[in-house]
């Protein structure tokens, strides 16, 4: 039997039994389920909670306090002690937070797997490693953010200062809850801002655990606030709030449009949007074929295809097309679908029934519109959220599976004859997030990369994301950049100060 005990002071639910078989992490280890404001755990002002579930089993993990008016209490921290703190001290606290994440990495990875359904080893070695590296990268930037001195003429000199934007709202998605939490808070805190975070309602648990580590690390009260809840309430409150100066959002293009509208109608707050993708991979006949097969398929199926970077459209040169399809089918048969907590598993469930139904509808549309189903395309069982990795060939550009973001484990393979054709078709999308090129010719790789309308181009690799490298999209894939030095510009205001100089004697 699993039980959950705790006190109001530490944010644990009083008593929330969870059904189902025992898990490797007991439910009492999921301790933080309340709203985190001013380094305190508080209850919903309306006394409301919502359940979060394990998508692999359908079992309820716990009840979480639902934020509504809590956003009001979490905002309005301009001119805070955090902003005035010595920059080096801010960096030390970010390093201390990274130390605590390393200490709790096994627990955090397990909770992340229970809440999202992603395979445990991916949570441990991808999400946790990326989270820690992001914190440490921006900890190093804290005391290196500076402006310039500009000699205008003999009478005037100007200097520029990079000042914190103020209060930053962060609305994070369910597919990478912990990693996106870090992508948002690390650059914001490094620059001296305070943050209000709304985790996705499907996956709030690792964000709330981070609240406990932020407090333990010694961050001043009010620097990071975490308000679990729903998009139309807590998320909309952040986008519309007059005391929030910037909002950073990762999620669907449709929701991003709503957030940008709300930001414009409220106080013209800054907006960073990391949105959808329908990402092209171009596989030329001179490539390392096995590498191309493995990397494009990892790109298509990683995290059950629930990635904005998913390798959605694979354009293969006609002369190697049939061989590429055959090898892709052989590779897909090696994928282990099963319990995400089993170290042998490489493919887990979709996040919820709504996402499952959307993916299955798009798979059916591919069949009806004439694409050739080469592998998969069916649920693993009648009572689960697991979908077999699915491969279509003979996909045409007009089909729904070629145009819509599936956000599921579906690989679409196209054929092309010329380089010019491949570039034209790759760019014929409203999205422009990432792309990839597989070729042995660096001249070709560089010329094609220059022609592709995406924020990231990978050459002979896929999903190669690093804290040092900026990430963001063209067109309807977003606004602004995350990660790297470029993200600092999204969290600072540039102030010009001009001085009148005395004439030299």
3-state secondary structure 477-500: CEECCECCHHHHHHHEEEEEEEEE
Sheet holding 492-500, edge to edge: 149-151, 156-164, 492-500
CATH code of 35-275+480-493, in short, is 3.40.605.10
pLDDT on residue 154? 83
pLDDT on residue 174? 97
Q: 10 Å Cβ neighbour count for 180? A: 28
Is the CB of residue 445 less than 8 Å from the CB of residue 463? Answer: no
pLDDT on residue 15? 36
Superfamily of domain 279-468: Aldehyde Dehydrogenase; Chain A, domain 2 (3.40.309.10)
Whether 421 is catalytic is no
pLDDT on residue 152? 85
Residue 121 and residue 119: Cα distance in Å, rounded? 6
pLDDT on residue 22? 36
Beta strand pairing call for 40-42 and 246-250: unpaired
List all residues 6 or more positions away from 497 whose beta carbon is below 8 Å from its beta carbon: 158, 159, 160, 161
pLDDT on residue 47? 87
- Active site residue: 65, 112, 201, 274, which one? 274
Rounded average pLDDT per 10-residue block, the chain, 505 residues: 34 37 53 94 91 95 86 61 90 98 96 96 96 98 94 89 95 97 98 96 97 97 95 94 95 96 96 97 98 97 97 97 98 96 96 97 98 96 91 98 97 98 98 98 97 98 97 97 97 95 74
Residue 372 and residue 366: Cα distance in Å, rounded? 8
Residue span(s) of the chain under CATH 3.40.605.10 come to: 35-275+480-493
User: Is 429 strand, coil or helix?
Assistant: coil
Q: 10 Å Cβ neighbour count for 497? A: 11
pLDDT on residue 7? 35
Greatest C-alpha distance within the chain: 89
Question: Using N-to-C axis directions, what is the helix angle for 128-141 and 105-116, rounded to 10°?
Answer: 120
Q: 158: burial class by Cβ within 10 Å (0-12, 13-18, 19+)?
A: middle
Q: What is the pTM of this model?
A: 0.91
pLDDT on residue 17? 35
pLDDT on residue 6? 34
pLDDT on residue 336? 96
pLDDT on residue 261? 97
Residue span(s) of the chain under CATH 3.40.309.10 come to: 279-468
Q: Give the DSSP H or E segment for 162.
A: strand 156-164
Residue 287 and residue 268: Cα distance in Å, rounded? 47
Reduced DSSP (H G I as helix, E B as strand, rest coil) percent helix, strand, coil of the chain, to 5: 40, 20, 40
């Amino acid at each position: 039997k699993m039980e959950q005990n705790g006190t109001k002071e530490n944010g644990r639910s009083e008593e929330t039994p969870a059904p189902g078989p025992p898990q490797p992490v007991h439910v009492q280890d999921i301790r933080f389920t309340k709203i985190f404001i001013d380094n305190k755990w508080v209850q919903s002002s309306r006394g409301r909670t919502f359940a979060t579930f394990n998508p692999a089993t359908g079992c309820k993990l716990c009840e979480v306090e639902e934020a509504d008016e809590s956003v009001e209490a979490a905002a309005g921290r301009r001119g805070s002690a955090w902003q005035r703190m010595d920059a080096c001290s801010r960096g030390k606290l970010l390093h201390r937070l990274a130390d605590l994440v390393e200490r709790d990495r096994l627990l955090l990875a397990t909770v992340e797997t229970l809440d999202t359904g992603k395979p445990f080893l991916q949570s441990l070695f991808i999400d946790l490693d990326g989270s820690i590296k992001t914190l440490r990268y921006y900890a190093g930037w804290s005391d290196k953010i500076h402006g310039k001195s500009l000699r205008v003429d003999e009478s005037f000199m100007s200097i520029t200062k990079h000042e914190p934007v103020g209060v930053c709202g962060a609305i994070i998605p369910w597919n990478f809850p912990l990693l996106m939490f870090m992508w948002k808070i690390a650059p914001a805190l490094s620059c001296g801002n305070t943050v209000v975070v709304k985790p996705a309602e499907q996956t709030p648990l690792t964000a709330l655990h981070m609240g406990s580590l932020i407090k333990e690390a010694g961050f001043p009260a009010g620097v990071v606030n975490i308000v679990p809840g729903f998009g139309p309430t807590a998320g909309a409150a952040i986008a519309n709030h007059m005391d929030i100066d910037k909002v950073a959002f990762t999620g669907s293009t449709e929701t991003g449009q709503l957030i940008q509208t709300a930001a414009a109608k409220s106080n013209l707050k800054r907006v960073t949007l990391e949105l959808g993708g329908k990402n092209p991979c171009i596989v030329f006949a001179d490539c390392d074929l096995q590498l191309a097969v493995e990397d494009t398929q990892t790109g298509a199926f990683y995290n059950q295809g629930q990635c904005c970077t998913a390798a959605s459209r694979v354009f293969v040169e006609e002369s190697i097309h049939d061989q590429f399809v055959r090898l892709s089918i052989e590779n897909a048969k090696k994928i282990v679908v099963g319990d995400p907590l089993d170290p042998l598993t490489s493919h887990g469930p979709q996040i919820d029934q709504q996402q499952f139904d959307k993916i299955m509808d798009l798979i059916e549309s591919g069949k009806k519109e004439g694409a050739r189903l080469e592998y998969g395309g069916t649920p693993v069982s009648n009572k689960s959220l697991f979908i077999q990795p699915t491969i279509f060939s003979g996909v045409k550009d007009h089909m729904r599976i070629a145009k819509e973001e599936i956000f599921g484990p579906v690989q679409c393979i196209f054929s092309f004859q010329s380089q010019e054709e491949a570039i034209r078709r790759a760019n014929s999308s409203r999205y422009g997030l990432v792309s990839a090129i597989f070729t042995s010719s660096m001249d070709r790789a560089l010329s094609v990369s220059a022609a592709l309308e995406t924020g990231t181009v990978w050459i002979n690799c896929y999903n190669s994301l690093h804290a040092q490298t900026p990430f963001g999209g063209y067109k309807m894939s977003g606004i602004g950049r995350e990660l790297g030095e470029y993200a600092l510009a999204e969290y600072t205001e540039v102030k010009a100060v001009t001085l009148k100089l005395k004439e030299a004697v």
